[in-house]
Amino acid sequence: MPNIQSLREKLDLLPDLCNEQMWPKVVDLEVNFPVDRTQLDQAIKTYGPWLAGAAAIGFLSGYMRSLAPYYEYIVLVCLAVGAWAFLQIRPHLKQWSEQSRRRREEESKLTQWIREELMKFLDPEFQFNSQPEFPKEVYTTCGLFPSSYDRAAAYGALAGMISQTQFNLVEISTHKKQTHKDSRGRTTVTWELIYRGLLFKADFNKNFNSHTLVQVERAQGRLGFLARGIQRLRGAQSELQRVKMESPEFEKVFKVTSTDPIEARYKLTPAFMEHFLGLRNKYGDGVELVFMNQQAIISIPHQKSFLPLYFNLKDLTQSLQSAAEELVDVLEIIEDLELDNRAWNRSSVQQKGA
């Protein structure tokens, strides 16, 4: 079973894998599926001016018809010249377009293969899915996001084990539809982004039954006391209670709510709070966390993908190396938060308690 140290050591061998196994396939792709624009460029160079000239003269004649008494004939001649020029370019355009389409298909297959090989290389047990289902249940029940959305997508998912800790990460985005009507009664539709980023799910190393949320404290500033008062009133109506933690630094940036304050403190030990603050420094202000169903679910909002979805085939080694490093950095969350710390075995305790 890999740990972060062993994954980092494997990264050093990645250039070899790339040169020995992947690069020959990229060369094959270049040889077997070339995209040649030379003939198309030549045709455009030769017939392009005819086409452009015919279009310009035809347009001007039509536009200034009062000045040109025989403008219908001029337009007809221009149309004929334009059609002739286009027919000269068309076969080359069609050939280039067909070559590009086949190349894109093959590139897509090759990228998929490289991705699978990379995952196998990191750990044969890792399971990567480039078209996963949107994790609707987790998204709507975790409490980190507004429960309603109009459009949702998942871009990639990876599951596996690091140091005895089962993990699952998925890249998602959700949007809300906004309809606006202007003064003339015309309707325009825009899509407002709700969330774009990573959902990182990992087994938590402690036994618990409650639901605990660690969210960004937005009730700050001069009117913070008012906002906190409203939060308290809303909290009184929900099952989630506000839990004030001992760490002033943690309290300053995060708001903890839980269905069980004692279990919330059981999960959020002083050491865990410190590690989570470190994670916030690494990934930015929007990092949030929820403990539910014996798992820790972390949301990391980000515009770019943490999973290797695309590679630059022209500079494959570098592209592969940076994608793999980013992925290992994300997986390091397990060790950063000490989720792999199995000082006691949860399953043995569960069996005992059963």
- Shortest CB 342 distance to other proteins, Å: 5
Q: Is the CB of residue 212 less than 8 Å from the CB of residue 197? A: no
- Shortest CB 263 distance to other proteins, Å: 7
| Residue with Cβ nearer other proteins (115 or 206) | 206
| Residue with Cβ nearer other proteins (232 or 234) | 232
- Shortest CB 255 distance to other proteins, Å: 15
Dist CA 72 CA 276 (whole Å)? 76
Residues 6+ apart with CB under 8 A from 293: none
- Shortest CB 333 distance to other proteins, Å: 19
- Shortest CB 203 distance to other proteins, Å: 15
Identify the CA nearest to 257 among candidates 272, 271, 248, 267: 267
Which residues here bind other proteins, judged by CB under 8 A?
164, 206-207, 244, 246, 261-266, 269, 341-345, 348-349, 352
Identify the CA nearest to 144 among candidates 202, 212, 210, 205: 212
| Residue with Cβ nearer other proteins (95 or 166) | 166
| Residue with Cβ nearer other proteins (261 or 286) | 261
Q: Which tokens hold the place of 109?
A: 């297959």
Report which residue type is found at 97.
S
| Residue with Cβ nearer other proteins (111 or 210) | 210
Q: Is the CB of residue 174 less than 8 Å from the CB of residue 135? A: no
Identify the CA nearest to 228 among candidates 247, 251, 246: 251
Q: Is the CB of residue 170 less than 8 Å from the CB of residue 307? A: no
Dist CA 131 CA 133 (whole Å)? 7
- Shortest CB 206 distance to other proteins, Å: 7
| Residue with Cβ nearer other proteins (175 or 275) | 275
Identify the CA nearest to 155 among candidates 137, 136, 134: 134
